């Protein structure tokens, strides 16, 4: 083969390897099925694919890569590049972001939930803690305040929460425990069976989860305004995978987060808009808790939980008070539009 021909072959091979090297494929571990809770991840994958001309793709797996409680572990060992998890599944591994699961923080909208979550995610101590798991916090999965569904007679007085077996994780579980409830932290995918078998009397979820995991189909009633708090479920990426991205692909990922969250908020608003018709269709009674009962619940659950959390975190040499103050300030600024 002459030198010209050989050069052409080498050039072709080099070009081919360059194309192969430019392609990036990530595996993303979530659970359940596609629903409002995962729409920002699906949108992110779509946007990144579009912005890179198909060179950066994400394969979103619903339970095929890991169990939901093990997603952070999978990220830490590089079993996959991106994952979603909920802080309440393993609060010992993500102590600092559990500030966002304290009861009765006063978050009223999903937009406020995004603001306070991302403010906490951006705190250096939070980033350092997650880096211990080789995880970088990318975006939150904002959820409205949780409310409970149950069977039998509605529980609309605080005394009726005593002895109530409730599926509630993290700070929500502690809130119900403070008023005599018996929380259990079965996973979202186990909640329907737990309710069906009588392991729990009630289940605390956001609206989308009551639909997606079928607990609304077991329910006789739903609390419209208990609003004790919510869980915080970040989307994280493996740090090594993130840092190995080309500048173009990393920019495509980072720049798509805000648009993915905006899509999520729009989609969730549509779900909330049809919630009353879902209750009516399924014959579920809408229960409104009195102001006096709510005030009593807050007094027994909110202050003690906050003080205990701050004391515990500070006792570990971490900035508990600083993070709680950050949540309060961010929430205040967001509500005032500043």
Q: What is the mean pLDDT of residues 20-32?
A: 87
Both tokens assigned to 132: 């211990």
pLDDT at 15: 45
Q: Is the pLDDT of residue 295 over 70?
A: yes
Which residues does 14 contact at the CB level (< 8 Å), separation at least 6? Answer: none
Average pLDDT, the chain: 92
Q: Is the pLDDT of residue 96 over 50?
A: yes
Which runs of E-coded beta strand occur in the chain? 24-30, 56-62, 82-84, 135-139, 147-150, 165-167, 182-184, 202-205, 221-223, 235-238, 285-287
- In tens, the pLDDT along 187-219 reads 889 999 999 999 999 999 999 899 999 999 999
- In tens, the pLDDT along 147-164 reads 999 999 999 999 999 999
Angle, in degrees to the nearest 10, between helices 247-273 and 39-51: 140
147-230+282-336: in CATH 3.40.190.170:
yes
pLDDT at 20: 46
Q: Is the pLDDT of residue 2 over 80?
A: no
- In tens, the pLDDT along 106-118 reads 998 999 999 999 9
Which residues does 9 contact at the CB level (< 8 Å), separation at least 6? Answer: 1
- In tens, the pLDDT along 255-294 reads 999 999 999 999 999 988 999 999 999 999 999 999 999 9
Q: Is the pLDDT of residue 21 over 50?
A: no
pLDDT at 267: 95
Per cent of the chain over pLDDT 70 is 94
Q: What is the mean pLDDT of residues 53-77?
A: 97
DSSP bridge partners of 24: 56
Q: What is the mean pLDDT of residues 282-309?
A: 94
pLDDT at 6: 46
C-beta separation of 89 from 169 below 8 A = yes
DSSP 226: -
pLDDT at 171: 84
Q: What is the mean pLDDT of residues 319-325?
A: 98
Q: Is the pLDDT of residue 5 over 60?
A: no
Q: What is the mean pLDDT of residues 25-44?
A: 97
pLDDT at 18: 42
Q: What is the mean pLDDT of residues 218-246?
A: 96
pLDDT at 186: 87
Q: What is the DSSP string of 277-298?
A: HHHHHHT-EEE---HHHHHHHH
pLDDT at 1: 54
Q: Is the pLDDT of residue 175 over 70?
A: yes
Taking alpha carbons only, the member of 156, 239, 207, 226 closest to residue 37 is: 207
Taking alpha carbons only, the member of 160, 121, 93, 150 closest to residue 297 is: 160
Distance CA(219)–CA(198), nearest Å, equals 12
pLDDT at 179: 95
Domain boundaries, the chain: 24-142+232-272, 147-230+282-336
pLDDT at 185: 86
Per CATH, 24-142+232-272 and 147-230+282-336 having the same topology is answered: yes
Match domain 24-142+232-272 to its CATH number in 3.40.190.170, 2.60.40.10, 1.20.1060.10, 3.40.50.300: 3.40.190.170
Distance CA(103)–CA(175), nearest Å, equals 6
Q: What is the mean pLDDT of residues 53-71?
A: 97
């Amino acid at each position: 083969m002459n030198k010209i021909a050989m050069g052409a072959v080498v050039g072709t091979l080099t070009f081919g390897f360059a194309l192969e090297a430019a392609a990036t494929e990530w595996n993303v571990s979530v659970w359940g099925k596609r629903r409002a809770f995962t729409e920002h991840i699906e949108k992110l994958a779509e946007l990144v694919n579009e912005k890179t001309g198909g060179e950066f793709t994400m394969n979103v797996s619903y339970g095929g890569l890991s169990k939901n409680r093990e997603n952070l572990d999978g990220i830490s060992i590089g079993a996959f590049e991106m994952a979603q998890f909920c802080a309440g599944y393993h609060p010992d591994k993500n102590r600092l972001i559990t500030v966002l699961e304290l009861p009765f923080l006063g978050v009223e909208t999903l937009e406020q939930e995004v603001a306070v979550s991302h403010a906490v995610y951006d705190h250096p101590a939070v980033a350092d803690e997650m880096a211990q798991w080789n995880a970088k916090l990318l975006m939150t999965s904002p959820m409205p305040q949780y409310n409970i569904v149950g069977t039998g007679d509605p529980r609309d007085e605080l005394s009726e929460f005593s002895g109530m077996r409730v599926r509630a994780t993290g700070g929500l579980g502690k809130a119900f425990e403070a008023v005599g409830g018996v929380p259990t932290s079965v996973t979202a995918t186990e909640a329907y069976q737990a309710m069906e078998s009588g392991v729990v009397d009630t289940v605390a979820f956001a609206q989308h989860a009551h639909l997606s995991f079928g607990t609304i189909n077991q329910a006789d009633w739903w609390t419209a305004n208990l609003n004790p708090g919510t869980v915080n479920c970040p989307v994280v990426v493996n740090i090594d995978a993130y840092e190995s991205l080309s500048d173009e692909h990393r920019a495509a990922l980072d720049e798509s987060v805000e648009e993915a969250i905006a899509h999520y908020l729009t989609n969730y608003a549509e779900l909330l808009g049809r919630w009353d018709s879902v209750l009516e269709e399924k014959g579920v009674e809408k229960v409104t808790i009195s102001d006096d009962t709510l005030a009593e619940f807050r007094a027994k659950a909110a202050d003690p939980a906050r003080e205990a959390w701050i004391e515990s975190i500070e006792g570990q040499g971490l900035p508990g008070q600083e993070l709680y103050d950050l949540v309060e300030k961010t929430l205040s600024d967001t509500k005032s539009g500043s």
